[in-house]
Each structure stands twice: as C-alpha cells, then as structure tokens.
Amino acid sequence: MMARTVLNHADISRALTRIAHEILESDRGAEHLVILGIPTRGTVLARRIAELIQRIEPTAPVQLAGSLDVTMYRDDLSRSGMRMPSPTELPPGGIDGRTVVLVDDVLYSGRTIRSAFDALSDLGRPRAVRLAVLVDRGHREFPIRADFVGKNLPSAASERINVRLAEVDGGDDHVTIEGGAE
C-alpha cells in the first residue's frame, strides 16, 4: 500500500515553531507553563516545543517539559491489549496552579486525551489545560478540540496517519497517510 507524505521534516519544524509561539502568546509567557507529552511521540514533540519556547523566551523555566503516561487510564485496554506503561515525569513544582499543555502526535477519536484528563486529575489541579497536536485528523468520539494544531488533515476512517520522528523511529521526520478506499 502506497503511503503519501503530507509533512516533511521542514514542515514539522515550522509547525512546532508556530505552536511554540502560539502557546507563549496564549499564556502571555512561559512562567506558569508545563508542557506534558503523551508517550511515545507526544513526549518527543513536547521536548521539542519546550526547547523552542526556551529559545524564544529566555526567562522560561529550565525544566519545562515532562511526560504523562495514560496507559492505565485508557478505556480500550481490553480491546487493544496491555501496553507497557511509560513513566510519568513532571517538571519541578508539579502542575498545581499552572497551565498544562498536553502534547500528542495525532488527535483522532479523543479517547487518549480523555484518558490524559483522568491521569492529570490524579496528579494535581492545573489552572488550565490546553492541547497541542501535530496532526488533527477528525473523527472525534469525545467533544475534544485542540488549541494548537500543526496540520488539520481530514481523513477517512479507513486511512492511517503515520508520524515518524528521528528520536523514536530513526531516519528523517515525516508524516504519511496511507490506505482509504481502493
């Protein structure tokens, strides 16, 4: 099955730079920000966004990024099988009273983000929660909308969106779409 590239390395880099600027604008700086990636690729994207924010805003906290594992909060474990949980890592100071930006690679049904809300509630009480995604492909099953989107990519449910990042997958960063009606 042929995969069509919809974002290359430069496209991803531009999208993340734009997202970093939008996050800073919406929160009027980085003083109260926490950027939490949802493993696996969301964590990589969160680190990249945090690095960009630190370059743009020199007063940003040194440890801005972390990760939020949602494995045990998922409602589809019985269908999809058990996955190995990743560690949840919070920046110093935790999330209480701070703006948490959740970061994921693809927003699809919204189930992962719903799980992330449950996981966050066990960790503290943020002032606000925002959502940043590299790709929003539609097909929501929960009323969830991303605040910061790299690329809106309407797709058929039968299509597959593949995000590949150098830190996880090796090679060059890219996003492909494959499948659909034959």
* pLDDT tens digit sequence for 44-67: 999 999 999 999 998 899 999 999
Given a contact cutoff of 8 angstroms between Cβ atoms, the answer to whether 36 and 73 are in contact is no
Q: Which range among 36-40, 74-78, 104-108, 160-164 shows the weakest confidence by mean pLDDT?
A: 74-78
Do β-strands 148-152 and 128-136 pair in parallel, antiparallel, or remain unpaired?
parallel
More confident residue, 111 or 75: 111
Task: Give the confidence band of 79 by pLDDT, cuts at 50, 70, 90.
Answer: low
Task: Give the confidence band of 181 by pLDDT, cuts at 50, 70, 90.
Answer: low
17: which 2 tokens?
């730079």
Task: Report the 10 Å Cβ neighbour count for 16.
Answer: 21
Cα gap 23→70, rounded to integer Å: 23
Cα gap 135→122, rounded to integer Å: 27
Give the CA distances from residue 79 to residues 71, 76, 82, 83, 125, in Å, rounded to whole numbers and listed in that order.
Answer: 13, 5, 9, 11, 31
Residue 107 pLDDT > 90: yes
Tell which residue, 134, 158, 163, has the closest CA to residue 5: 163
For range 161-182, the mean pLDDT = 92
pLDDT of 86 reads 87
Given a contact cutoff of 8 angstroms between Cβ atoms, the answer to whether 104 and 42 are in contact is yes
Cα gap 137→29, rounded to integer Å: 29
Mean pLDDT computed over every residue of the chain = 94
